[in-house]
Amino acid sequence: MLELVHNAPSFINPPSTSTTRSGLVVGLAQTTQELDLIQRLRYDTFKSEYGAEFNPNTPGLDSDAFDRWCEHLMVRDLETDEVVGTYRVLTPQNASRAGGYYSESEFDLSGLGDLRLELVEFGRACIHESYRQGGALMMLWSGLAEILKRGNHQYVFGCASVSLRDDGVTAAKVWRDVRDAVIQPDTLRVTPHNRYPVERLDSSLPAKAPALLAGYQKLGAQICGQPAWDPDFNTADFPMLLSISNMGARYRRHFGFEK
Query: What angle do the packed helices 135-151 and 211-219 form, to 10 degrees?
Result: 40
Q: Contact 240/159 with Cβ under 8 angstroms?
A: yes
The pLDDT tens digits of the residues spanning 40-67 come to: 999 999 988 888 888 888 889 999 999 9
* Helix, strand, or coil (residue 189): coil
Query: 53-62, 70-79, 199-208: which has the highest mean pLDDT?
Result: 70-79
Better-predicted residue by pLDDT, 1 or 71: 71
Q: Is the pLDDT of residue 8 over 60?
A: no
* Helix, strand, or coil (residue 1): coil
Better-predicted residue by pLDDT, 49 or 75: 75
Q: Is the pLDDT of residue 134 over 70?
A: no
Contacts for 222 with CB less than 8 Å, ≥ 6 apart: 181, 187, 240, 241, 242, 246
Instruction: State the pLDDT confidence band at 4, using cuts at 50, 70 and 90.
Output: confident
110 by Cβ neighbours in 10 Å (0-12 / 13-18 / 19+) ranks as: exposed
**Which pLDDT score, from 0 to 100, does residue 186 have?**
74
Mean pLDDT score of the chain: 87
Distances in whole angstroms, Cα of residue 88 to Cα of each of 40, 65, 247: 14, 13, 21
Instruction: Identify the weakest region by mean pLDDT among 24-38, 103-117, 151-165, 172-186.
Output: 172-186
Q: Is the pLDDT of residue 191 over 70?
A: yes
Q: What does the domain layout of the chain look like in residue ranges?
A: 2-254
Better-predicted residue by pLDDT, 103 or 183: 103
Q: Is the pLDDT of residue 100 over 90?
A: yes
Q: Is the pLDDT of residue 99 over 90?
A: yes
Q: Is the pLDDT of residue 19 over 60?
A: no
Fold of the 2-254 domain: Aminopeptidase (3.40.630)
The pLDDT tens digits of the residues spanning 152-184 come to: 999 999 999 999 988 899 999 899 888 888 877
Q: Which residue from 230, 243, 218, 222 is spatially nearest to 180, judged by alpha carbons?
A: 222
**Which pLDDT score, from 0 to 100, does residue 12 have?**
33
22 by Cβ neighbours in 10 Å (0-12 / 13-18 / 19+) ranks as: middle
Instruction: State the pLDDT confidence band at 196, using cuts at 50, 70 and 90.
Output: very high
